[in-house]
Amino acid sequence: MLAVKHLQKSFGLIQAVRDVSFQVDRGEVLGLLGPNGAGKTTTMRMITGFLPPAAGTALIMGHDISAEPVQAKKQLGYLPENAPVYADMLVWNYLAFIAEIRGFTGRAREERVRQTIESCRLTDVQHQAIGTLSKGYKQRVCLAQALLHDPPVLIMDEPTDGLDPNQKHIVRTMIRAMAARKAIVISTHILEEVEAICTRAIIIHNGAIVANGTPAELKTRSRNHGAVELTVTSPSGDLVNKLQGLAAVARVESQLPRVIAYPRASGDGSSRLTQEIVSLLKANPEWNVTALKTLEGRLDDVFRELTESKQGT
Amino acid sequence: MDFLRNTRAISKRELASYFESPVAYVFMVVFLMLLGFLTFFVARFYENGQADLRGFFFWHPWVFLMLVPAAAMRLWAEERRAGTIETLLTLPVTAGQAILGKFLAAWIFIGLIVALTFPIVLTCAYLGAPDRGAIIGGYLGSLLLAGAYLAVGMLTSALTRNQVISFVLSVVICLFLLLAGWPPVTDLLVHWAPGWLVRCVAAFSFMPHYEAFQKGVLDLRDFAYYLSVIVFMLFGTHLVLENRKAA
Least confident of A12-26, A266-280, B135-149: A266-280
**In this predicted model, what pLDDT tens digit does every residue of B126-171 receive, in sequence order?**
888 888 888 899 999 999 999 999 999 999 999 998 999 999 999 9
Q: What is the pLDDT of residue B172?
A: 93
Task: Tell me whether residues A45 and B93 touch, CB distance under 8 A.
Answer: no
**In this predicted model, what pLDDT tens digit does every residue of A206-231 receive, in sequence order?**
999 998 988 888 888 877 788 888 88
Q: What is the pLDDT of residue A183?
A: 95
Closest-CA distance of chain A to residue B4, Å: 10
Q: What is the pLDDT of residue A235?
A: 64
**pTM exceeds cut of 0.80:** yes
Q: What is the pLDDT of residue B204?
A: 81
pLDDT band at A312 (very low <50, low <70, confident <90, very high): very low
What ipTM did this prediction achieve? Answer: 0.87
pLDDT band at A313 (very low <50, low <70, confident <90, very high): very low
Choose from B12, B87, B241, B244 for mutation: most chain A CBs within 10 A: B87
A108 at B interface, C-beta within 8 A? no
Q: What is the pLDDT of residue B144?
A: 95
A294 at B interface, C-beta within 8 A? no
Task: Tell me whether residues B92 and A85 touch, CB distance under 8 A.
Answer: no
Point out the residue among A48, A87, A97 whose CB comes nearest to the CB of B90: A48
Which residues in chain B show pLDDT less than 70? Answer: 245-247
**In this predicted model, what pLDDT tens digit does every residue of A171-185 receive, in sequence order?**
899 999 999 999 999
Least confident of A65-69, A84-88, B206-210: B206-210
Contact residues, chain A, for B12 at CB < 8 Å: 97, 100
Q: In what order do the strands lie in the sheet with A55-60?
A: A14-24, A2-11, A55-60, A63-64
Q: Which amino acid is at B144?
A: L
Task: Tell me whether residues B84 and A97 touch, CB distance under 8 A.
Answer: no
Q: What is the pLDDT of residue B200?
A: 80
In A, minimum Cα distance to B4 occurs at A101
Q: Calculate the average pLDDT of chain A.
A: 88
In A, minimum Cα distance to B3 occurs at A101
C-alpha to C-alpha distance for A280 and A288, rounded to whole angstroms = 12
